[in-house]
Amino acid sequence: MKIEQRVFDPATGWGMRDGELASERAQLVFVFGDRDLLEAGTGLDEVGKFYPGARVLAASTSGEIMGTEVSEGRLVATALAFAKTRVVCAAATVSRVSQSHEAGRELARQLHAPDLVHVFVVSDGQLVNGTELARGFNENLPRGVQLSGGLAGDGTRFERTVVGLDERPVPGRIVAVGLGGSALRVGFGSAGGWEAFGPARIVTRAEHNTLYELDGQSALQLYKKYLGDQAAQLPGSALRFPLCVTPAGSDHTVVRTILSIDEKAEAMTFAGDIPAGARVRFMRASYEDLIDGAAQAAEQTRGGTAAELAICVSCVGRRIVLGQRTEEETESVRAVVGPAAVLTGFYSYGELAPSGSSVACQLHNQTMTITTLRED
């Protein structure tokens, strides 16, 4: 596999940063960056000229990753030229959250092939229910084929996210990349570093991703009690205090982040589903915990061979908490995957990856999720 990275700055244009394709032709290009630039086509329109014939997946972010550097207001393009791996892409568009499950099912069907090894998906981050999208894929991907990826971001504006395939990115778009062939080696890892505190409580009233009651009490009022003075900054302060959710009858936990609150209905809307009957606990973390979590995710990706590419998808909430120390988590990933691997990725509104011993993909919040690729 040959890899090449370029960065676009509105003030200076495109510049080469890492790697070299030489005479190889790229089959796939990831472009992660600022929503305003992508919607205007600023810089994006030139990518097709750099890599004629390549499929271009573009998505807005809450910060783009190039190596250990985290930036905003730019575009990062990572072009891949595979030697032995087949690349096929599929896209779908939703206008309502209720269409998320069917979109996942249809995209999985389109990617079906005997040699399919892995699917990497980037989805709209606000019109798509990531839990239902993952469920649609899980139910229809061939046995043994796993899914990873993430939901696009929009900085800390939370206005709209955009995704595109060989086009100007738009809201509601979902793009899936199918990778096939016996030479491809895929690793993945997902970890948070958050620590649960306080008593476990049972979800007694919830609808999809909206939570109303814990232990028969107002979930919002309980949450405010734990936040104390920081309750006045809701929903923004909620990024520092996510929920640990364990569905009834399951040992697998996921982390959920609050997107919005409804004071009148005393409801909290999360980035993923909160099933009735689930056990939940509030969570918090120190800087060191989050940085260690990123290193743990990288450790999970390690197999018998070193990665050539590491695609990092980390939550916007982690970036807000880490602040000026954000690049310490990408540096911790670099320390594990080694200096030879090319790092790319973005800060997201949700991360997609299998968790623990589960082979099924799940939506995560507040995690660092890493997908590594290598050809033998």
Q: In what order do the strands lie in the sheet with 184-191?
A: 69-71, 64-66, 342-348, 309-315, 368-375, 184-191
**Region 166-180: what's the mean pLDDT?**
98
119 with 226, same domain: the answer is no
203 with 345, same domain: the answer is no
The pLDDT score that the predictor gives to residue 2 is 95
Query: Could you tell me if 344 and 333 are in contact, meaning their C-beta atoms sit under 8 angstroms apart?
Result: no
pLDDT at 99 over 60: yes
127 with 58, same domain: the answer is yes
The pLDDT score that the predictor gives to residue 257 is 84
150 with 268, same domain: the answer is no
Residues found in the chain: 376
The span from the CA of 334 to the CA of 328, in Å, is 10
312 with 363, same domain: the answer is yes
231 with 352, same domain: the answer is no
For residues 88 and 251, which has the higher predicted lDDT (pLDDT)? 88
Of the residues 231, 257, 284, which one is the last residue of a structural domain? 284
For β-strands 64-66 and 69-71, DSSP reports them as antiparallel
For residues 357 and 364, which has the higher predicted lDDT (pLDDT)? 364
Residue 38 in 3-state DSSP? helix
Give me the domain span that covers residue 252: 195-284
**pLDDT-based confidence at 241, cuts 50/70/90?**
confident
**Region 36-52: what's the mean pLDDT?**
95
| pTM of the predicted model as reported, rounded to 2 decimal places | 0.90
Which residues pair with residue 243 across a beta bridge? 256, 282
The span from the CA of 352 to the CA of 18, in Å, is 27
The span from the CA of 17 to the CA of 60, in Å, is 20
The pLDDT score that the predictor gives to residue 356 is 59
Of the residues 239, 256, 284, which one is the last residue of a structural domain? 284
Which residue in this structure is represented by tokens 């990706």?
301
Tens digit of each residue's pLDDT (9 = 90 or more) over 278-315: 999 988 888 999 999 999 999 999 875 689 999 999 99
The pLDDT score that the predictor gives to residue 89 is 98
Identify the H or E element spanning 273: none
pLDDT at 216 over 80: yes
Q: Quote the tokens at residue 237.
A: 């302060």
Q: Quote the tokens at residue 255.
A: 């982390």
Of the residues 232, 262, 284, which one is the last residue of a structural domain? 284
359 with 333, same domain: the answer is yes
Which residue in this structure is represented by tokens 């979930």?
219
**Region 215-219: what's the mean pLDDT?**
95
User: Among 195-209, 251-265, 317-331, where is mean pLDDT lowest?
Assistant: 251-265
Residue 101 in 3-state DSSP? helix
Which residues pair with residue 29 across a beta bridge? 56, 79
The pLDDT score that the predictor gives to residue 21 is 87
Q: Alpha carbon of 119 to those of 61, 124, 145, 192: distances in Å? A: 20, 16, 7, 22
205 with 122, same domain: the answer is no
Query: Could you tell me if 295 and 332 are in contact, meaning their C-beta atoms sit under 8 angstroms apart?
Result: yes
148 with 297, same domain: the answer is yes
Which residues pair with residue 375 across a beta bridge? 184
The span from the CA of 77 to the CA of 344, in Å, is 9
Query: Could you tell me if 346 and 161 are in contact, meaning their C-beta atoms sit under 8 angstroms apart?
Result: no
User: Among 50-59, 181-190, 244-253, where is mean pLDDT lowest?
Assistant: 244-253
200 with 123, same domain: the answer is no
Dihedral of CA atoms 57, 62, 65, 69 in degrees, nearest 10, equals 150
**pLDDT-based confidence at 12, cuts 50/70/90?**
very high
**Region 70-79: what's the mean pLDDT?**
97
**Local structure of residue 170 (DSSP, 8 states):** B
**pLDDT-based confidence at 271, cuts 50/70/90?**
confident
User: Among 161-175, 179-193, 274-288, 345-359, where is mean pLDDT lowest?
Assistant: 345-359
pLDDT at 358 over 80: no
Residue 139 in 3-state DSSP? helix
pLDDT at 149 over 80: yes
**pLDDT-based confidence at 233, cuts 50/70/90?**
confident
The pLDDT score that the predictor gives to residue 204 is 97
141 with 279, same domain: the answer is no
Residue 155 in 3-state DSSP? coil
| 207 contact partners, CB below 8 Å, separation of at least 6 | none
**Region 34-57: what's the mean pLDDT?**
96
The span from the CA of 12 to the CA of 304, in Å, is 41
pLDDT at 23 over 80: no
83 with 212, same domain: the answer is no
Please provide the average confidence, as pLDDT, over all residues in the chain.
93
166 CB burial (10 A radius; 0-12, 13-18, 19+): middle
Query: Could you tell me if 178 and 142 are in contact, meaning their C-beta atoms sit under 8 angstroms apart?
Result: no
Domain count, the chain: 2
User: Among 14-28, 65-79, 177-191, where is mean pLDDT lowest?
Assistant: 14-28
pLDDT at 357 over 60: no
For residues 291 and 270, which has the higher predicted lDDT (pLDDT)? 291
**Which amino acid is residue 118, in one-letter code?**
H
| 280 contact partners, CB below 8 Å, separation of at least 6 | 200, 201, 202, 203, 214, 243, 244, 245, 246, 274
The span from the CA of 161 to the CA of 313, in Å, is 15
